Structure 1
Amino acid sequence: MLSARDLRVAFPGRRGAAEARAVDGVDLDLRRGEIVALVGESGCGKSTLARTLLGLVRPTSGTVGFAGKPLEYGGRALKAYRRRAQLVLQDPSGSLNPRHTVYDAVAEGLRIHRYGGDERAAVTGALARAGLRPPERFLLRYPHELSGGQRQRVVIAGALVLEPELLVADEPVASLDASVRGEILALLLRLRAELGLAALVVTHDLGLAWNIADRVAVMYLGRIVETGSVETVLTAPQHPYTRALLSVLPEAPGTPVILSGEAPDPSRVPSGCRFHVRCPVLAEGGAGHRGVAAACRTQDLPVLPATPLAHTACHWVAAGRTGGPG
């Protein structure tokens, strides 16, 4: 349904500084009815990638395809695409106009796309599918009169009202209480089962990915460094970055791996493996033991292919598979 090939997005630097490579070579596929979790720390390029896939950001190079056709960036083409692919934002309080009732918030998309059917029926149907029942109780309420979970359901209803084929959910439960997160995740799974929706879920939480996703793509500094089925990636992680992210989950065995510092500035992407400046395997001598320490520091890794198979962009992992450097 949705594909990216060698996707790159760079933003101009300030005052003559080098450009920031927010997305720096990504291949990604999303099939119909599939949920893919895009996971990584803040600032690794996840949200920029998601917005580029929706046509909200135009790529510097590479292509986005939808339903087998390349995405076109003319106004009419983008409007038609956004009816089929909808964004669900992290903060429902920020994405809902406080002066609009729930009815107006959900009906906004119908009015933009000049819906010709029964508007009230479409709005109440979307609210019911989003779990706000009976929907008539919510039509004249304002956002401040709702709980956080109810506001997020209104946002989801606003996306569903256009009957899209794809949802891109950017940290959909990050601002919600733990007791409500499970309800929203269960809702997304039910929508996939009932409507056949595909979803790209952007998150920093690998635990969320485990509960909702079919596949996981782990992103670091503009590039996907590990991808595969959720069971493969989260039960047998290969990349040192994925291992570190998993190690800090409450249920993870062993000692948490605390990464030093923050991810580098995307305008100063390190040479070689972009993770090598923080990599505990390199720092503790594991890469040297396999004879790839120099490669980690100097040799860039290829963009991972967009296939359902598990892939890892790591010199140390590759050397372990082949018995030596490679």
Structure 2
Amino acid sequence: MTAPAQPPAEQPLLSAEGLHVTFPGRHGDPPARAVDGVELAIRPGEIVALVGESGCGKTTLARALLGLVRPTRGHVRFGGQPLEYSSRSLKAYRKRVQLVLQDPTGSLNPRHTVYDAVAEGLRIHGYGGDERAAVASALSRAGLRPPERFFLRYPHELSGGQRQRVVIAGALVLEPELLVADEPVASLDASVRGEILALLLRLRDELGLSALVVTHDLGLAWNIADRVAVMYLGRIVETGAVEKVLTEPQHPYTQALLSVLPEAPGDPVVLTGEPPDPSRVPSGCRFHARCQVLASGEAERAGVAGACREVDPGVLGGGGEAQVACHWASSRAHLSHTGSPQE
């Protein structure tokens, strides 16, 4: 009896394919490999969290996906079509993919009313409909009701949470298909963060929005994402469903990031040193100089210490399956699968 045919995988809404972004080095240094070979796909209606320490390249990757930085190599695709970099093409693209920044105060012009802040995108794109109705609808969807009460207010008259809702309304007014949210709650009080995260989830459910949420906070990823991609020194080193990655982390870097959460069992893993300079990416696994598994001798006992130092574990695919770029984790998976030592 033949197995039933599998349905075709849904085409990603936004994808990075072999993406590299390098910046010229300073004072004769080699180029900085800010994004160093990334495959990433975001499907319609999916929320993906991109997590990692400051300086790992996640904001540069987000800017490349938005068309704000042109890749050195590789491609960004939206709806299956490669992103074009003419002014006209980028203007049309940015109507469909909107950015929500970390600091709502810095995102809003203090001299513009809430109405003008939200209407700005409509005016840039030559909206031909009822502007007042569109602004009111966007503010209402962002949780500012009744919207007319906010039209003539200025940013300084609003709370931090209200300002972030205005920024989200300014993105929603163009009816985008995907939001890129860069640390969307980092500057907000803890009491307000949950409200904004709940809003993003509601927008996904009501409007079918996709989102890439850039964050250093794995707790935020747990609360909002369907899938997580962990980034280190320009590469995604672990990816998969959020429950899988955050309850059974395979990469030592992911394990270290999770160990410092308040609810994490055991002692926190203290990584030595800072992330390496992206102009001098180490040989082998790019994490090996800070890796607690290599330092403790576990990698040596597993027979992979040499590979950790010398062999690049490669670029992970952009699909939704669980993947890890780690020789030690791969050796453990092999042993658990075969039940015998690796040959």
- Which category describes the TM-score, using the shorter chain as reference length? over 0.9
Q: State the Cα distance separating 1:322 from its structure 2 match.
A: 2.3
| Whole-Å separation in 2 of the counterparts to 1:322 and 1:213 | 29
| Whole-Å separation in 2 of the counterparts to 1:71 and 1:53 | 9
| Whole-Å separation in 1 of the counterparts to 2:23 and 2:45 | 33
Aligned residue number for residue 85 of structure 2: 73
| Whole-Å separation in 2 of the counterparts to 1:17 and 1:107 | 45
| Whole-Å separation in 2 of the counterparts to 1:195 and 1:321 | 39
Q: State the Cα distance separating 1:101 from its structure 2 match.
A: 0.7
Aligned residue number for residue 267 of structure 2: 255
Match of 2:252 among 240, 262, 270: 240
Does structure 1 residue 90 correspond to structure 2 residue 85?
no
Does structure 1 residue 121 correspond to structure 2 residue 133?
yes
Aligned residue number for residue 319 of structure 2: 307
Q: Deviations over 1:183-224 (max 9, x none)?
A: 000000000000000000000000000000000000000000
Gaps of 5+ in 2: 1-12, 336-340
Match of 1:16 among 28, 37, 61: 28
Structure 1 residues 298-307 or 82-91, which shifts more?
298-307
TM-score (norm 1): 0.99
Q: State the Cα distance separating 1:262 from its structure 2 match.
A: 1.1
Change (3 A) 1:112 1:325: farther
Q: State the Cα distance separating 1:15 from its structure 2 match.
A: 2.0
Does structure 1 residue 164 correspond to structure 2 residue 176?
yes
| Whole-Å separation in 1 of the counterparts to 2:97 and 2:251 | 31
Match of 2:218 among 206, 215, 225: 206
Gaps of 5+ in 1: none
Aligned residue number for residue 60 of structure 1: 72
Does structure 1 residue 273 correspond to structure 2 residue 261?
no
Secondary structure, counterpart of 1:86 in structure 2: strand
| Whole-Å separation in 2 of the counterparts to 1:232 and 1:130 | 31
TM-score (norm 2): 0.94
Q: State the Cα distance separating 1:325 from its structure 2 match.
A: 6.4
Aligned residue number for residue 189 of structure 1: 201
Match of 2:187 among 154, 157, 175: 175
What code does the residue aligned with 2:93 have? Y
What code does the residue aligned with 1:194 have? E
What code does the residue aligned with 2:248 have? A
Q: State the Cα distance separating 1:321 from its structure 2 match.
A: 2.0
Q: State the Cα distance separating 1:29 from its structure 2 match.
A: 0.5
Please tell me the root mean square deviation across aligned C-alpha atoms, in Å: 0.9
| Whole-Å separation in 2 of the counterparts to 1:307 and 1:166 | 18
What code does the residue aligned with 2:218 have? L
Q: Deviations over 1:249-307 (max 9, x none)?
A: 00111111111111111111111100001000000001100111111111112100111
What code does the residue aligned with 2:222 have? W
Structure 1 residues 273-282 or 297-306, which shifts more?
297-306
Judge conservation of contact 1:315–1:325 (CA < 8 Å) in 2. no
Aligned residue number for residue 305 of structure 2: 293
Secondary structure, counterpart of 1:187 in structure 2: helix
What code does the residue aligned with 1:209 have? A
| Whole-Å separation in 2 of the counterparts to 1:246 and 1:325 | 29
Change (3 A) 1:10 1:243: same
| Whole-Å separation in 2 of the counterparts to 1:172 and 1:293 | 39
Q: Deviations over 1:51-76 (max 9, x none)?
A: 10010100000000000101011110
| Whole-Å separation in 2 of the counterparts to 1:192 and 1:276 | 38
Aligned residue number for residue 38 of structure 1: 50
Secondary structure, counterpart of 1:63 in structure 2: strand
Q: State the Cα distance separating 1:171 from its structure 2 match.
A: 0.2
Secondary structure, counterpart of 1:277 in structure 2: helix
| Whole-Å separation in 1 of the counterparts to 2:342 and 2:160 | 51
What code does the residue aligned with 1:263 have? P
